[in-house]
């Protein structure tokens, strides 16, 4: 997977790229991250990338001409570029975008290459939106820039690449897994008892069928209590599966 990051502050990623599974994925050549500065396409002696907003208002707005020039350069000169500069998938970090979630991480992880665009200042010139494929947000809040959001997307997608985690079951059984959509069941480790709280007996019993059933029940109940929206979606999905499941034919008596 190759992630191009458009940012004025590539140094913000230094520690992140040296950490844990992200670092391992880079070392194993499963992930490549390249940075592109809009400043390289800035205007004038100071390489300006922003300007005051039309109509007045506070803050500065990132220019459409500068940002598009940077994006087109990635297409034309980036790793794997094709004659004519085939357009790479472009994702803009903005609080106006759709909330990032696990299905979106799964989708991006299947792409060989994409561009993450990090804004700064008061935001983007509205016309930039006509040059991107998607807008993503981490939630209903505003940050000073899109770098943290870009890191979150890289982290969430790289762990889904084959061989990065080592145990493929990890992504199937955790919260928001596309297989169930539930929150993850409770996890325990040693000590078996801590300040009066014991590990549930079923987990130490060794019966894998009982453990699987307990974990499923716990995942459903935790989701029902903590995330009613996910629980209702799960119930609806289960109802559809039950209705569409092939019915077993009864054996005729001779």
Closest CA to 149 of 165, 135, 159: 135
Q: For residues 97 and 128, is the Cβ–Cβ distance under 8 A?
A: no
Last residue of a domain, one of 108, 131, 158: 158
**Which pTM does this prediction carry?**
0.87
pLDDT for res 122? 86
pLDDT digits (tens, 9 = 90+) for 192-250: 999 999 999 999 999 999 999 999 999 999 999 999 999 999 999 999 988 887 765 55
Cα distances from 47 to residues 6, 39, 60, 75, 223, in angstroms, run: 16, 6, 15, 21, 50
pLDDT for res 91? 98
Is 251 inside a domain boundary? no
Q: How many domains does the chain have?
A: 2
pLDDT band at 171 (very low <50, low <70, confident <90, very high): low
Query: Percent of the chain at pLDDT above 90?
Result: 82
Helices and strands: H and E segment counts in the chain = 9, 10
Is 252 inside a domain boundary? no
pLDDT digits (tens, 9 = 90+) for 80-139: 555 556 899 999 999 999 999 999 999 999 999 999 999 998 899 999 999 999 999 999
Is 163 inside a domain boundary? no
The CATH code of the domain that includes 210 is: 1.10.1270.20
């Amino acid at each position: 997977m190759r992630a191009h990051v458009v940012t004025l502050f590539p140094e913000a990623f230094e520690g992140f790229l040296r950490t844990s599974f992200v670092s391992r994925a880079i070392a194993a050549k499963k992930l490549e991250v390249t940075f592109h500065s809009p400043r390289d396409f800035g205007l004038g002696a100071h390489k300006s990338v922003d300007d005051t907003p039309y109509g007045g208002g506070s803050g500065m707005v990132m220019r459409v001409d500068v940002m598009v020039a940077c994006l087109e350069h990635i297409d034309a000169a980036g790793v794997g570029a094709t004659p004519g500069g085939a357009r790479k998938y472009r994702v803009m970090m903005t609080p106006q975008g759709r909330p990032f979630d696990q299905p979106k991480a799964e989708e991006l992880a299947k792409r060989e290459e994409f561009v993450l665009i990090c804004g700064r200042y008061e935001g983007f010139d509205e016309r930039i939106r006509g040059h991107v494929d998607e807008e993503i947000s981490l939630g209903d809040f505003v940050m000073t820039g899109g770098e943290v959001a870009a890191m979150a997307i890289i982290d969430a997608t790289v762990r889904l690449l084959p061989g990065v985690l080592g145990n493929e079951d990890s992504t199937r059984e955790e919260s928001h897994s596309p297989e169930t959509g539930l929150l993850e069941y409770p996890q325990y480790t040693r000590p078996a008892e801590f300040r009066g709280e014991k590990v549930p007996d079923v987990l130490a019993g060794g019966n894998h069928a009982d453990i699987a059933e307990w974990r499923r029940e716990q995942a459903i109940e935790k989701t029902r209590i903590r995330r009613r929206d996910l629980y209702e979606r799960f119930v609806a999905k289960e109802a559809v599966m039950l209705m569409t499941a092939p019915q077993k034919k009864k054996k005729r008596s001779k």
